[in-house]
Amino acid sequence: MALEILCPTCGGKTSTRTSEEFGPLLKKAKLVCRNCGRHSYFTGEITEHFDIVLSRNMAIHTFAERPAAANDGAKDQLSLTL
């Protein structure tokens, strides 16, 4: 089943022109209405991933499953994973 996004102007069906991936869970797509021709942008994010244990994509993990940084014991540095 494909995700159907309707035009916010006329309610017509849209087509995806381009899409850009910002990470394994976040995408932005440029949409064009098939009825009125209006261009729109859609940003979609996967917020829950139930089979995380079976996932082979190591870029996807929750905070609790984050691999330990080499300096996890350091108090003078902030470790960020993007």
Query: How do residues 12-69 score in pLDDT, each as one tens digit?
Result: 999 999 999 988 889 999 999 999 999 999 999 888 766 555 556 666 655 444 555 5
CA angle 12, 33, 18 (to 5 degrees): 140
Cα(first)–Cα(last) distance of the chain, in Å? 30
Give me 40's structure tokens. 């729109």
Q: pTM of this prediction?
A: 0.55
Domain ranges for the chain = 14-65
